[in-house]
Amino acid sequence: MSTKTELDALANFIMAEVPGEPSQSEGAGHTAIRIIRDQRARIEVLERDLRWVMDFAKGQEPWDDDGDVARFNQIEAALPKYTGTGVRDEEET
């Protein structure tokens, strides 16, 4: 498969499968790099928050003691809403 064919397939995938993309004027390769970096950062935040929740559930002192209710609300607000089908709901505006 040629590079152009591969990039066209990537661009088509991004437009069809990634909500809100393309959001910037850039090629498919740079868009994919930006999406991967954003997702990697999001995963790091979710892993940190999950560790906090697990520590709290085990009755241990949470590593980030900024108030239990406030922290749970912050974590919940950061999570995207999902339907039972595994498809992300559109953000409410």
Render pLDDT for 78-92 as a digit per residue (tens, 0 to 9).
766 654 444 444 444
For residue 32, the model assigns a pLDDT of 94
Assess if residue 91 is contained within a domain.
no
Assess if residue 65 is contained within a domain.
yes
Assess if residue 90 is contained within a domain.
no
Query: Range of 26's domain?
Result: 3-78
Assess if residue 88 is contained within a domain.
no
Tokens of 10: 């990537």
Assess if residue 84 is contained within a domain.
no
Assess if residue 74 is contained within a domain.
yes
* pTM exceeds 0.85, yes or no: no
Between vectors from CA 43 to CA 39 and to CA 48, what angle results, nearest 5°?
Answer: 150
Q: How many domains does the chain have?
A: 1
**Tokens 């928050």 sit on residue:** 49
Assess if residue 60 is contained within a domain.
yes
